[in-house]
């Protein structure tokens, strides 16, 4: 089991070529134990290719990749049991029933870990009412919840989630976010997530890596990336009935000074950062302009 702060995902100079086309150029990033890392980027940027190389499903053309201390191209069954994978779409096992499949998959992990109890897991992903249904009768969102359950059944140390909430309704999305936070908090799972939902990335991710045209164009927390493009936060407050605003690169320090000087007369304090969506669109636009 990895310890907090240990690097569990290490990608260095990763290249991928399909035929004569390079789709990943020198991709480098890391994730530490217990982190949620979001890999963002436009369609075709190379996110799924990167994830599939880390999962050991695809052979890279060049570069160094280490996942839980192992090169994925040499990962054995014990290594694979420490990973959880939620692919973009699963459309198999149509005749299986939900509980039956999860209980069965759990047995694969039993040698290496204590898998989730099937009913507990079904409850955690909100499928209790559908536990006895055949998979082919599930709706798109229910099927996606099951995909997440399949990904975590072996209590993985590292969980890959490729667009996990596509087709989720807002409530399912909210519950899924709570589930991921719970996994990270309780079991110290590291999560690598791809999503086109920037609100989701902002809510879940400790760090964000943006890929564009197969290159890393940004790597940092949502706040760090926002500051990189906008430079300053806007602080707003009300004092003696008057609305005030001030732009600063150090909103925490500014707020502290404000309270030191004016104490309780400062009301309705708000700090506004550029949203991740604004930041993302600006960074991708800048990268495309120089491509
Ligand atoms: N098996 C393949 N053979 C040839 N080219 C491929 C193959 N798989 C992916 N590509 C190409 O590699 C590039 C990166 O694709 P990838 O699926 O990794 O992107 P992505 O960032 O996951 O996109 P999306 O957001 O649409 O899922 C794309 O240009 C795609 O057309």
Global pTM?
A: 0.82
**Cα 159 to Cα 85: distance, rounded to the nearest angstrom:** 6
Higher-scoring residue by pLDDT: 17, 229:
17
Q: Which of 220, 242, 274 is the last residue of a domain?
A: 220
**Cα 290 to Cα 197: distance, rounded to the nearest angstrom:** 25
User: Does some domain include residue 19?
Assistant: yes
- Which of 21, 48, 210 maximizes ligand 1 atoms within 8 Å of its Cβ, making it the mutation to test the pocket? 48
Whether 235 and 121 map to the same domain: the answer is no
**Cα 204 to Cα 191: distance, rounded to the nearest angstrom:** 10
89 lines ligand 1 (CB under 6 A): no
Range of the domain at 259: 224-289
What is the per-residue pLDDT across 97-146, written as a single tens digit (0 to 9) for each? 888 888 888 887 778 778 889 999 999 888 999 999 998 898 888 888 88
184 with 191: CB under 8 angstroms? yes
Whether 187 and 78 map to the same domain: the answer is yes
Instruction: List the CATH number of the domain containing 108.
Output: 3.40.50.300
User: Does some domain include residue 1?
Assistant: no
46 lines ligand 1 (CB under 6 A): yes
From first CA to last CA, the distance across the chain in angstroms is: 42
Q: Which atom of ligand 1 is nearest to the CA of 88?
A: 27
Whether 208 and 266 map to the same domain: the answer is no
Q: Which pLDDT band, with edges at 50, 70 and 90, does 18 fall under?
A: very high
User: Does some domain include residue 127?
Assistant: yes
Whether 181 and 121 map to the same domain: the answer is yes
Whether 275 and 185 map to the same domain: the answer is no
**Cα 90 to Cα 218: distance, rounded to the nearest angstrom:** 30
Whether 141 and 172 map to the same domain: the answer is yes
**Cα 129 to Cα 127: distance, rounded to the nearest angstrom:** 6
What is the per-residue pLDDT across 36-47, written as a single tens digit (0 to 9) for each? 999 999 999 999
User: Does some domain include residue 2?
Assistant: no
Whether 213 and 247 map to the same domain: the answer is no
Whether 183 and 60 map to the same domain: the answer is yes
């Amino acid at each position: 089991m990895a310890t907090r702060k240990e690097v569990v995902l290490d990608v260095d100079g990763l290249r991928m070529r399909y035929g004569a086309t390079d789709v990943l150029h020198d991709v480098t990033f890391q994730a530490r134990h217990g982190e949620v890392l979001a890999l963002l980027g436009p369609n075709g940027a190379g996110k799924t290719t990167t994830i599939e190389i880390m999962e050991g499903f695809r052979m890279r053309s060049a570069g160094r990749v280490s996942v839980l201390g192992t090169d994925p191209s040499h990962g054995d069954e014990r290594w694979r049991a420490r990973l959880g994978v939620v692919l973009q779409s699963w459309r198999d096992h149509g005749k299986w029933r939900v509980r039956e499949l999860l209980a069965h998959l759990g047995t694969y992990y039993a040698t290496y870990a204590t898998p989730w109890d099937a009913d507990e897991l079904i409850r955690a992903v909100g499928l209790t009412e559908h536990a006895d249904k055949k998979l082919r009768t599930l709706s798109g969102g229910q099927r996606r919840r099951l995909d997440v359950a399949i990904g975590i059944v072996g209590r993985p140390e590292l969980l890959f989630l490729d667009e996990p909430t596509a087709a989720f309704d807002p409530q399912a999305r909210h519950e899924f976010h709570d589930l991921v936070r719970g996994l990270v908090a309780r079991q110290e799972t590291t999560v690598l997530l791809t999503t086109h939902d920037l609100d989701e990335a902002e809510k879940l991710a400790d760090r964000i890596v943006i890929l564009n045209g197969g290159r890393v164009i940004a790597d940092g927390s949502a706040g760090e990336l926002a500051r990189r493009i906008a430079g300053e936060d806007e602080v707003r407050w009300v004092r003696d009935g008057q609305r005030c605003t001030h732009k600063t690169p150090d909103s925490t320090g500014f707020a502290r000074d404000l309270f030191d000087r004016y104490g309780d007369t400062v009301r309705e304090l708000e700090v506004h950062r550029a949203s991740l969506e604004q930041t993302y669109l600006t960074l991708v636009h800048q990268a495309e302009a120089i491509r």
